[in-house]
Structure formats: structure tokens, C-alpha cells
Structure 1
């Protein structure tokens, strides 16, 4: 009987240790994601700041709901910061769409996520991609590249002519 109890204790101990490590890894990854998301949204707000000089332009901070999956495969809804850019009668919404964390014992963590830019009339989906602690690339149709002030301004300039008037 003691061999069976020892096997049970060992299995439980291993399970507990793995679950605790998985939770720790997830918490660290979510914390890093939130910090980088905040930095990105603040960066975008500063990158579009020169547009404040234009009549009919405004930028407003809004909260987005997005999906998350932790290192144990648990799915949940999260809330995070985003922006609404208004250009006269049209607008762009910029906010988080998902974050996924993958991890297993003895395997490096993989954390990926995206911020999506959505506007009525856009021909393609536009995403700013997050991978293991940094937003570093974007995709928009067949366009892709590194994320930064100049690339974001160029991307935004290519999206604006596509936008349609918002329903009011």
C-alpha cells in the first residue's frame, strides 16, 4: 500500500509544481503583455499627435475586450486600453484582439498576441504583432514590416483613403 501512496503523492506533487509554475509563467507573461500594450497605445497616441492640428480629428482612449489563453490552456476575456481615432465622419479603432501563452516544463515560453486596427471600408485586416515581450511587426494585406513611428505613419496614410463614413 505504501508504494501506491508514494506514487500518488509523487504524481500529486509533480502536478502541483507544474500547475504552480504554469500559473507563474502566465502571470509574468500577462504582466509583460499589459505593459507593452500600454506602451504601444501611448506610442500610437504620440505618433498621431501632429494630427491634432487638423479640424475634425480627435483621439480618444477607450477600453477593449479581447481573448486570452494562459499557459494551461484556460481561455478568458480580458480588458485593455485602445484608441479611437476620428477623422470627421469616419473613425479607426485600435485595440488588443488576443494574447496566447504557450509553455510546458523544459520548453521555453511562447507568447503571441495582436492589436488590430479596424475601420469601415478597410480592404484588409491590419494587425500589430506581439511576440515574446515586444510589438515589433505589422501586417496589412500584403504589406508588412517593423513597427515604429515612421512605419505606423506610412501605414496610417495608406489606410485613411479607404475609410468610409461611419453610420450615425
Structure 2
């Protein structure tokens, strides 16, 4: 019973932190609204959720779609799990991915025990924050290809 309650609490924290992360990203990309044909839209994304008993379900979560003229970038959760670490403490981990047409790699933003701490993109790794995110986004945008190429 305690484990189930702890899993539920960890999931609530994850949802709150996910909402805060996506809210931050929305404010960080606000200057891009000056570009022609740029838009940002909230959407839903499916992802896997696993508890300490390794029961898995599909969950829907908040995601963002950034549209740049003829292409787009989707930022949304891909997984969240709660497990019991050695010594009996709880470990909650999650991943938010950024995917777009033509990207060489999938970009991942990593969550651990209540915070989005780092991102990985191929060989690139960094601490998650406004400056690192906007730098990362600036390196990804030139890779994006028109959506029609992939239709």
C-alpha cells in the first residue's frame, strides 16, 4: 500500500514538473513568434508509465508542437517509471523527447526524482536550462526538413 501511494505521489510530481517544463519552453521560444509562419501549440502525446510492480500502462500527457513554416518539432513525454532503488528508496525517472522531420538523432530531456536535469542529443549532453535549451534548439532547427518530404 505504501509503495502504491509513493508511486502515485511520484507520478503527480512528474506531471507537475512536466507542465512546468513545457511552460518554460513556451516562454523560452517566445522570441520566435517574430518569425513568419512560426507557431506553438499545446497538444497531447502518449507515453508509457510503469510503477514499482512493473505494471505498464499508456498515459496521455501534455506536449508542444512547434511549427516553422513547412516543418515541425514535437516535444512531449515518452516514458515515466517509478522503481525501488537498493536500500528501499524510491527512484522516479522519465524522458521527454524532441523529434522533428530530418533530425539525425532524437533529443531527450531526462527527469530524475522531481527535476528535469539534463538533455542528450547524440554525443551532446548538457544541464537543462533556458540557455542550454535555446542553444540546443538553434542547433536542431537547421536539421529540420519540410514535412512534405516525409508525407
TM-score by length of 2: 0.95
Residue of structure 1 equivalent to 2:135: 154
Partner of 1:8: none
Cα distance in structure 2, aligned partners of 1:104 and 1:159? 35
Moved over 4 A (4+): none
CA RMSD, 1 decimal: 1.3
Match of 1:73, SS state, is coil
Q: 1:66 to 1:159 in 2, by over 3 A?
A: same
Alignment equivalent of 1:74, drawn from 55, 72, 88: 55
Structure 2 unaligned spans of 5+:
none
Q: Pick one of 5, 9, 29 that aligns with 1:48.
A: 29
Please report the TM-score for the alignment, with normalisation by the length of structure 1: 0.86
Q: CA deviation at 1:129?
A: 0.3
Number of equivalent positions: 149
Measured against aligned partners, the alpha-carbon deviations of 1:59-93 in whole angstroms (never above 9, x if no partner) come to: 00001110000111110011110100000000000
* Cα offsets for 1:30-82 (capped at 9, x unmatched): 00000000000101101000101111100000011100001111100111101
Structure 1 residue 131 displacement after superposition: 0.3
Q: Does 1:139 align with 2:130?
A: no
Structure 1 alignment gaps of length 5 or more: 1-19
SS of alignment partner, residue 123 of structure 1:
coil
| CA distance in 2: counterparts of 1:56 and 1:50, whole angstroms | 13
Q: Which residue of 2 aligns with 1:38?
A: 19
Q: Structure 1: how far apart are the matches of 2:86 and 2:50?
A: 17
CA distance in 1, matches of 2:100, 2:119: 16
Q: In the TM superposition, what is the alpha-carbon distance from 1:104 to its structure 2 partner? A: 6.8
